[in-house]
Amino acid sequence: MDTTDSRSREELLAELETVRAINRASRRCVKDSESEPEWNSSVHGTLLRLALKKEDRAGFRYMYVDLFWECLCGD
């Protein structure tokens, strides 16, 4: 147990609910054979936002690449 964590019970429960939501999203993505962009949006992005929430030196930005457009148009 981390005795140095000064967050309130409400903050800890909110973080736990976020982790549970990530778990539900990942199971849905597996069940529905979701595409990588959906995984990135629903699972990876949420996890990175949670992990980097209090980090001042790092950030997160989701960048979508449309592979269909690249295949159609070349570069």
Spell out the domain ranges in the chain. 10-73
Confidence at residue 16, expressed as pLDDT on a 0 to 100 scale = 96
> How is residue 47 written in tokens?
């996890």
Residues 22-53: pLDDT tens digits? 999 999 999 999 988 888 888 988 998 898 88
Burial of 72 (0-12, 13-18, 19+ CB in 10 A): exposed
User: How far apart are the C-alpha atoms of 11 and 52, rounded to whole Å?
Assistant: 15
- Enter the DSSP assignment of 57: S
For the whole model, what pTM was predicted? Answer: 0.71
Confidence at residue 62, expressed as pLDDT on a 0 to 100 scale = 65
User: How far apart are the C-alpha atoms of 40 and 25, rounded to whole Å?
Assistant: 11
